[in-house]
Structure 1
Amino acid sequence: MSIILIVDDDPDSLWLLQVALEGRGHHVVLAGDGQSALEMAGHCLPDVIVTDWNMPRMDGDVLCERLKCYPALALIPIVMTSARSPPLDRTGLWNIFLRKPIDIETLATTVDSLVTKRLGNNSIRSHCGAAPLCRWPAEALKYWA
């Protein structure tokens, strides 16, 4: 089962995307801002991240930058969503950009495609043993559980 991390400060958007992706067999993890998402990504190592651009504390753009700083998180495919157009000099931080309002079928198909491609790449998963990779020591994770 694939793990999808959805990041958005709008609870209605989180719920809608969660229902759509869980209906396609994905396990969905939710975060309300980039800071929470970064912590969750380090804990659960999602297969795909779907993030909004505009959020409090840490926006989607900064989240993408921070994810690229950690080897275990840097290769996770990212779907950026926003009602505004992204600046052209930042487009390398995510894999796909979808303009809001999002067509749910397009998003679901995109996520399915990214998951298939990621899970089909054995070199990404081959270094994962019984426990997922994480940059934090196991004793630090008990505070997030």
Structure 2
Amino acid sequence: MMANILWVDDDLENLWALQLALEADGHRVVAVEDAGRALDLLRREPVHFMITDYEMPIVDGAQLCRMVRAWGAHASLPIVMLSAAPEPVSAPRAWTYFLRKPAGFGTLSALIDAHVAPRLTGVKRVSVEALRCAQRAASRWPAIIADCWP
């Protein structure tokens, strides 16, 4: 199921690696390096799912999540925050899921599918069995074996 995914990370290697893996999984990915670009993109394009790094300069991932949640149009946008550091407990939790790096790609892919399928199909609940049976989009790129990245 193709989703428009916004991926925010100041590390170019992480941006590139996850973008390739998600595109091979059939999604459209727009990768940006900071919160300002992410907010600009959210104003201009439909986004079904957002992934952000936690530790970024100027505006960190937790602050970005709070900004997105405060924006009515994206208040319910599914957001995964990734970090090598532990989940921040001092800030109000504005993200949907927190994954520690190195995160398994299968876990991230399952979270995307579980949240995006209902948004794109209009079905309130999609069974795990239906997600397993869904055909992945064909890709011109060879499959990426990404049990862990970066």
Report TM bin, short chain: 0.7 to 0.9
Q: Distance in 1 between matches of 2:103 and 2:17?
A: 11
Match of 1:75 in 2: 76
Match of 1:97 in 2: 98
Following superposition, the deviation at residue 20 of structure 1 comes to: 1.0
One-letter code of the match for 1:102?
A: A
Change (3 A) 1:120 1:88: farther
Q: Distance in 2 between matches of 1:91 and 1:21?
A: 28
Change (3 A) 1:84 1:45: same
TM-score by length of 2: 0.74
Match of 1:111 in 2: 112
Match of 1:26 in 2: 27
Percent identity of equivalent pairs: 41
Following superposition, the deviation at residue 122 of structure 1 comes to: 6.7
Question: What is the SS of the residue equivalent to 2:75?
Answer: coil
One-letter code of the match for 1:53?
A: Y
Structure 1 residues 120-131: aligned runs within 5 Å: 120-121=121-122
Contact residue 35 and residue 57 of structure 1 kept, 8 A: no
Q: Which structure is higher in RCO with an 8 Å CA cutoff and minimum separation 6?
A: 2
Provide the aligned C-alpha RMSD in A: 1.8
Q: Number of residues paired by the alignment?
A: 123
- Following superposition, which runs of at least 4 residues in structure 1 exceed 4 angstroms of deviation? 120-123
TM-score by length of 1: 0.77
What whole-Å deviation, never above 9, does each CA across 1:2-60 have from its counterpart, x for those lacking one?
Answer: 20000001111111111111111110011101121111112113100000001123111
